[in-house]
């Protein structure tokens, strides 16, 4: 058996409602990470996601590289998005129970890394339960102690762009890769994963319904999608 928690970054987008409908149709739970600017741009779509049962975590207001920010600027990015998300939950009429965080680009803030983890603890951000993850690198890199939500497998589907050679086939290769250089092999029996995926209209323009193609393939391979549980 292969277990996975699906995370979908960068909502909201034009295709957010279609992704939400697809997930609900398949019974795939997901944890979404919202960028404040994107929520403001596609507000109704973000409201839709919450009303249809999705959790929206904080993915910063403007998606910067946190290692390029001062500690104060980093906190401001997070807090500005907290205000957007508070209003969003209120407008959606949904209670905000969990407040997970994901760093844009997985950039944990460079020299501010420890200070930001301290900040998350202090402010009561929620850690996605990860004691089911047994890969060596998870502990070696201290990911088991961090509050923010990292991942064990990255589809890299956001590399499918008009000016790139990266295609649908390359995503499939990553899914099938039994010995990846980074992260853990997705289709290895007995694995437990946190999957990194995105709600990007640019990807939809290149591969229409990409989420359906890649996630249906995982279902076909017997991947069990678990609901996110928080500490």
- Residues of this chain that interact with Zn ion (CB under 5 A) are 9-10, 104
Residues in contact with 161: Cβ distance below 8 Å, sequence separation at least 6, in sequence order:
202, 206
Nearer to Zn ion, 9 or 154 (CB): 9
Nearer to Zn ion, 36 or 191 (CB): 36
214: which 2 tokens? Answer: 């890649």
| CB of residue 59 to Zn ion, shortest distance in Å | 6
Nearer to Zn ion, 160 or 185 (CB): 160
> 103 near 109, Cβ under 8 Å?
yes
82: which 2 tokens? Answer: 């907290």
Nearer to Zn ion, 119 or 158 (CB): 158
The residue with its CB nearest to Zn ion is: 9
Contacts of range 87-91, beta carbons closer than 8 Å, 24 or more positions apart: 88/34, 88/39, 88/43, 88/46, 88/47, 88/50, 88/56, 89/50, 89/56, 91/43, 91/47
For residue 207, the Cα-to-chain-centroid distance in whole angstroms is: 20
Nearer to Zn ion, 103 or 225 (CB): 103
> 192 near 138, Cβ under 8 Å?
no
């Amino acid at each position: 058996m292969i277990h996975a928690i699906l995370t979908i970054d960068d909502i909201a987008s034009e295709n957010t409602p279609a992704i939400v409908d697809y997930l609900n149709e398949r019974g795939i739970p997901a944890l979404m990470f919202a960028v404040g600017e994107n929520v403001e741009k596609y507000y109704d779509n973000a409201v839709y996601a919450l009303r249809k049962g999705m959790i929206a975590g904080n993915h910063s207001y403007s998606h910067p590289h946190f290692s390029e920010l001062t500690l104060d600027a980093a906190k401001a990015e997070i807090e500005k998005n907290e205000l957007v998300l508070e209003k969003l939950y209120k407008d959606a009429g949904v209670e905000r129970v969990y407040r997970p965080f994901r760093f844009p680009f997985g950039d944990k803030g460079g020299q501010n890394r420890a200070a930001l983890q301290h900040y998350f603890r202090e402010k009561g951000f929620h850690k996605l339960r990860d004691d089911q993850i047994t890969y060596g690198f998870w502990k070696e890199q201290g990911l088991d102690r961090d509050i923010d939500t990292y991942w064990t497998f990255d589809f890299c589907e956001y590399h499918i762009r008009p000016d790139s050679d990266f295609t649908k086939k390359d995503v499939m290769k990553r899914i099938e890769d039994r010995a990846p250089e980074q992260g853990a092999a997705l289709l290895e029996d007995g694995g437990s994963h946190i999957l990194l995926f995105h709600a990007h209209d640019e990807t939809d323009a290149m591969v229409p319904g990409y989420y359906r193609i890649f996630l249906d393939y995982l279902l076909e391979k017997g991947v069990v999608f678990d609901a996110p549980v928080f500490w």
